[in-house]
Amino acid sequence: MSETDRSLSTTPRLFVPGALAAGAAISLDAPQSHYLASVMRRQPGDMVRLFNGRDGEWAARVTAVAKKAVALVAEQQSAPQEQVADLWLCAAPLKKGRIDWLVEKACELGVARLQLVTTQRTVVDKPNLERLGAHLVEAAEQSGRTAVPDLPAPLPLERLLKSWPEGRALIFADEKGGEAMAATLARVPAPAAILIGPEGGFTPDERAAIRAHRGAIALSLGPRILRAETAALAAVAVWQALNGH
Ligand code: SAM
């Protein structure tokens, strides 16, 4: 590792919405400025790593520091844009705390999209997408991702199934039994999606509708009933190990 690489690996890493290119001027918002100026105590001349989900990661130099307004200029690309394995996690919204944890870990494990799905037994009506989106950004910042997973509006299960894209495998984690995990996931490359039920599981009608869906693959995650968030992460981690990055 070169001296530059070593110092960059310890520099703060932030998501910014604007375009990144050599010479691009960036103004941070108030919370990020506070973080850099007051928490990380960065000064003009210090380096920061920036990414925006599109242009890779950039080494940027701090040019001005005020409590609520830090300015930087991007100098050179420090990492290319990540090649994201095309895996969606489709999961029912869970209670606060559990869903926050799931969102963070799903981002760390490299999902391309987190699609929330409402089902008959879903207990959380209106998930807070703003809070969940902020967790995705934070997880991308700390895990070195240059892509932030998409977080579209939640969809009822019926609509999700009706609008299912041609060619995307639908891997359905079925606690009542299905095909063995490792051998099955090894033969289901991208584009794929893993569907996980809510705390109370899917209703019999929902299970039947999913199983009847063109191309659905019912998957068993083993003999134990896992919490929804454990099930989601186990399936995503194994899929990534076999097909992803
Ligand atoms: N209340 C349900 C029951 O007792 O049968 C359990 C639901 S489980 C907490 C939530 C979701 O995790 C399920 O809908 C399923 O998608 C997934 N899941 C949990 N354990 C699983 C397993 N052993 N195999 C496949 N999927 C599992």
Q: Mind listing the pLDDT tens digit of every residue in the chain (245 residues)?
A: 555 555 555 789 999 999 999 999 999 999 999 999 999 999 999 999 999 999 999 999 999 998 789 999 999 999 999 999 999 999 999 998 999 999 999 999 999 999 999 999 998 888 999 999 999 999 999 999 999 999 999 999 999 999 999 999 999 999 999 999 999 999 999 999 999 999 999 999 999 999 999 989 999 999 999 999 999 999 999 999 999 87
Can you tell me which residue has the tokens 């809510």?
A: 198
Domain ranges of the chain: 3-79, 87-242
- Cα–Cα dist 57/60, whole Å: 9
- Among 89, 123, 225, 233, which residue has the most ligand 1 atoms within 8 Å of its CB, making it the best to mutate? 225
Topology alike, domains 3-79 and 87-242: no
Long-range contacts at 123-130 (CB < 8 A, ≥ 24 apart)? 123/94, 123/95, 123/198, 123/199, 123/200, 124/93, 124/94, 124/95, 124/96, 124/99, 127/93, 127/99, 127/154, 128/96, 129/153
Q: Taking CB atoms and a 6 Å cutoff, what residues make up the pocket around ligand 1? A: 173-175, 196-197, 199-202, 220-222, 224-228, 231
Q: How remote is the CA of residue 201 from the centroid of ligand 1, in Å?
A: 6
What pLDDT is recorded for position 1?
Answer: 54
The pLDDT value recorded for residue 78 is: 95
pTM greater than 0.85 (yes/no): yes
* SS3 letters across 110-179: CCCEEEEEECCCCCCCCCCHHHHHHHHHHHHHHHCCCCCCECCCCEEHHHHHHCCCCCCEEEEECCCCCE
The whole-number pLDDT of residue 57 equals 97
Q: How far apart are CA 180 and CA 218, in angstroms?
A: 9
Nearest atom (ligand 1) to Cα of 227:
9
| CA separation for the pair 148, 139 (Å, rounded) | 9
| Helix axes of 98-108 and 129-143: crossing angle, nearest 10 degrees | 40
| Domain spanning 87-242: CATH superfamily | SPOUT methyltransferase, trefoil knot domain (3.40.1280.10)
Could you give the CA distance from residue 61 to residue 53 in angstroms, rounded to a whole number? 19
Cα 189 from Cα 87, distance rounded (Å): 9
Domain 3-79 belongs to what architecture?
Beta Barrel (2.40)
In this predicted structure, what is the pLDDT of residue 66? 87
Supply the residue whose CA is at minimum distance from atom 10 of ligand 1: 228
